[in-house]
Amino acid sequence: MNILYIGDIMGQPGMGVVERVLPDLIRDRAIDIVIAQAENVTDGKGMSVADMDKLSSLGVNFFTGGNHTPKLTELYSRLEDESQPVIGPANIASCPGAGYKYLDTQAGKILVVSLMGEKVGQPIEMSNPLVCIDDILRSQANVDKEAVVVNFHGDYSSEKRIIGYYLDGRVSMVVGDHWHVPTADAMILPNGTAHVTDVGMCGSLNSSLGVTFDSIIPRWRDGIQTANELEMHDTQLQFNAVLMTKSPGVIKSDSIERIQVITPV
């Protein structure tokens, strides 16, 4: 089984590069399942129903979330519906839904879990992610699963690394995101779990994490409170993902590969 996990899709530039890259990638790499981080899809803050449907039509099978996921209430009914392939972090009190769902595939059920790190640069009411994932895995222990994919959305590299080793051998893959900057440490951990600290983002390449430099530098240099503005005029786009492969009948993974595509607009 080949599972592709796409990093944070940042606004319309991110949607555009996914539309350009994903269909050919699915065909050329024989990808079976596509999972994408969707908390930044609609103007950088959440995901609309229309944008979810658009990405689904491009080949995305499942959507994970983060701190921005609860901001668009139109998605709440889908977050709460077990048949809809979208989740927010399981350990955030303000996010509707359980934070984990199953994706039915020809090869079997895939359990997908979304978690938030405790250090995300803003006060958010949440439970401990390690305790949360233990509770989820325990409650789902008797369900036959072909794979378990855990997304960890957080700032601290230490948290992202630790949870990978904490879950090593118990899940198929742990993918970190939220930084929007890909790390060069995709690896199979000692007990067979595929792991990457941060998968990166999809969107503007020449930007501050998808945001204009003009909206960031005054805040840093002069202490001026400015609002983030998506970079909509870049001449280059980036697509970042990881591709995990696994054999049938076992939870552990065989390989993980970082994929980056830089393309002109």
Residue from 68, 153, 178, 195 carrying the catalytic annotation: 68
Nearest-angstrom CA–CA distance, 178 and 175: 10
The owner of tokens 């509770």 is 135
Q: How many CB atoms lie within 10 A of CB 169?
A: 12
Q: Report yes or no: 256 and 243 within 8 Å, Cβ to Cβ.
A: yes
State the CB neighbour count (10 A cutoff) for residue 227. Answer: 7
Q: Is 68 a catalytic residue?
A: yes
φ and ψ of 229, to 5 deg: -125, 125
Could you give the angle at the alpha carbon of 210 between the alpha carbons of 101 and 175, nearest 5°? Answer: 35
Question: Cα(51)–Cα(74) distance, rounded to whole angstroms?
Answer: 11
Catalytic residue ranges:
68
